[in-house]
Amino acid sequence: MDKTAKVVLDGQEYELPVVVGTEDEVGIDISKFRGTSGAITLDSGYANTGSCKSEICFIDGEKGILRYRGYPIEQLAEHAKFPEVAYLLINGELPTAAQYESFRQDLTYHSMIHEDMKKFFEGFRHTAHPMAILSAMVTSLSSYYPEVDDDADDHNIIRLLAKVKTVAAYAYKKSIGQPFVQPQNKLAYCANFLHMMFAVPTEPYEVDPVLEDALNVLLILHADHEQNCSTSTVRMVGSSQANLYASMSAGISALWGPLHGGANQKVIEMLNMIQQDGGGIDKYVAKAKDKSDPFRLFGFGHRVYKNFDPRATILRKSAESVLDRLGVHDPMLEIARQLEEVALKDEYFIERNLYPNVDFYSGIIYRAMGIPTDMFTVMFALGRLPGWIAHWKELRNDPSSRINRPRQIYTGAGERDYVGIADRG
């Protein structure tokens, strides 16, 4: 027999259907509750609200489990290539060798940006944050590639995946006043991005395989994370049937905030501040615990993970190995290690289940790779793009999907009469 749940409101009992997921997660379906009871449910920050059913990503925050389409993140990070993971997320299965080859080729041959669009970059100040450029350029792509036929979504998904790395690298080149470097068809996805970032017209540039491997792992770890703030934003915007590019641009804007993808930039700024202040950890741990101080330990805490973030575990090891292989000694890594050690033993952090998250170590790796701090969140966006696309596509193909439209409990003024400006005192 199907499970149900009961709610008693004002003495009246309501029976509600229960939905059970693949991994036995339980959700009470309240979609018809208002119709029968007149009441809504209130859940500020959606901490306990399922907004959809989804087949893309599974997280068990208590056990520190993350899987894309059933595959453990640890296995994908160790063995897969980023385009393979992108294909998996978007299409549901890992590609065959032939499918992978054709996907890789598509991603290569659509990398160039329309010459006219390059002029858009000229309009930005050289000090513009690259996330502002990325978000604006992604939405602008819709004016070049409108949805004109039934296959438009598939074509646009390929174009978007292929071109975003070019836009991201050009945003960086713009910020340092260097000429844009064209993508090269012979290079794979990650190598092509690094080439466009770091090559200059006057010098030959060989992509360092250490950088390519490190980038591959970072992008895979960021590729999806179910209904996080930016993905929910993509679904929210997509639910109004806004086009792919507009929906992705909204996701980029949501990611930018320091509590979400912007945290990777904030971690490095925080470690820098600690270093410049003499390297004392305790003062900053105390500040983070002080409720009258707005300071937080960036890169710590997560809405879902209450034990450990499996991505952070992979990146902690990866940071050590990448710095080692590149021969980089970064005092930030030592400060990060000390901070982690002190915080993990502290009652405040233990009680609240606050552990390092994916952003705690990613910035240290990006620094070692030569990627500037204000590009870190762009790197996160590059990685998260396949996840956003997969969710947008899932929503688009779901015949039961409706426009997202939450309700509220109104707490403002009661009805009152308008008073003319002359009589307002």
- Catalytic center residues: 302, 359
**The total number of residues written for the chain in this structure:** 425
> Does 301 engage in binding with ligand CMC (CB under 6 A)?
yes
Q: Please, what is the end-to-end C-alpha distance for the chain in angstroms?
A: 66
Residue number closest to ligand CMC, CB atom: 301
| Residue 119: both structure tokens together | 């002029």
Q: Mark the segment that binds ligand CMC (CB under 6 A) among 9-17, 144-152, 156-164, 298-306.
A: 298-306
Among 211, 263, 379, 381, binds ligand CMC (CB under 6 A): 263
Q: How many CB atoms lie within 10 A of CB 31?
A: 9
SS (H, E, C) 295-315: CCCCCECCCCCCCCCHHHHHH
Among 104, 287, 296, 396, binds ligand CMC (CB under 6 A): 296
Among 67, 165, 260, 393, binds ligand CMC (CB under 6 A): 260
Tell which phi-psi region holds residue 233, choosing left (phi > 0), alpha (psi between -120 and 50) or beta.
alpha
Among 108, 166, 192, 228, binds ligand CMC (CB under 6 A): 228
> Does 352 engage in binding with ligand CMC (CB under 6 A)?
yes
> Does 391 engage in binding with ligand CMC (CB under 6 A)?
no
| Residue 384: both structure tokens together | 């998260």
Give dist(CA 287, CA 66) in Å, integer: 31
> Does 390 engage in binding with ligand CMC (CB under 6 A)?
no
CB of 34 to ligand CMC, least distance (A): 26
CB of 384 to ligand CMC, least distance (A): 9
> Does 90 engage in binding with ligand CMC (CB under 6 A)?
no
CB of 377 to ligand CMC, least distance (A): 10
Q: Mark the segment that binds ligand CMC (CB under 6 A) among 23-31, 111-119, 357-365, 412-420.
A: 357-365
Tell me the pairing of strands 65-68 and 71-72: antiparallel
What part of residues 13-72 is at the interface with ligand CMC (CB under 6 A)?
45
DSSP 373: G
Is 165 or 302 the residue whose CB approaches ligand CMC more closely? Answer: 302
CA–CA–CA angle 70, 74, 76 (5° rounding): 65
CB of 389 to ligand CMC, least distance (A): 17
Tell me the pairing of strands 4-9 and 26-28: unpaired
Is 288 or 315 the residue whose CB approaches ligand CMC more closely? Answer: 288
Instruction: Tell me how many residues contact ligand CMC (CB under 6 A).
Output: 21
CB of 206 to ligand CMC, least distance (A): 33
Q: Mark the segment that binds ligand CMC (CB under 6 A) among 19-27, 207-215, 243-251, 296-304.
A: 296-304
Give dist(CA 28, CA 19) in Å, integer: 6
Dihedral sign from CA coordinates of 44, 45, 49, 52: positive
CB of 354 to ligand CMC, least distance (A): 5
Would you give the binding string for ligand CMC spanning residues 188-217, x where CB under 6 A is met?
------------------------------
Contact (Cβ atoms closer than 8 angstroms) between residue 261 and residue 319: no
What part of residues 91-120 is at the interface with ligand CMC (CB under 6 A)?
none
Dihedral sign from CA coordinates of 65, 68, 70, 74: negative
Strand runs (DSSP E) across 61-120, as ranges?
A: 65-68, 71-72
> Does 131 engage in binding with ligand CMC (CB under 6 A)?
no
| Residue 112: both structure tokens together | 């160039």
| Residue 372: both structure tokens together | 């500037």
Give dist(CA 339, CA 322) in Å, integer: 20
DSSP 26: E
> Does 251 engage in binding with ligand CMC (CB under 6 A)?
no
**Distance of alpha carbon 236 from the chain centroid:** 15
Among 106, 224, 359, 394, binds ligand CMC (CB under 6 A): 359
Question: Burial code of 298-336, b = ≥16 C-beta within 10 A, e = fewer?
Answer: bbbbbebbbebbbbbbbbbebbeebbeebeeebebbebb
At residue 317, φ and ψ (nearest 5 deg) are -65, -45
CB of 192 to ligand CMC, least distance (A): 26
Q: Mark the segment that binds ligand CMC (CB under 6 A) among 113-121, 150-158, 331-339, 354-362.
A: 354-362
Among 249, 357, 362, 377, binds ligand CMC (CB under 6 A): 357
Is 218 or 354 the residue whose CB approaches ligand CMC more closely? Answer: 354
Residues binding ligand CMC (CB under 6 A): 45, 225, 228, 259-261, 263, 288, 296-303, 352, 354, 357-359
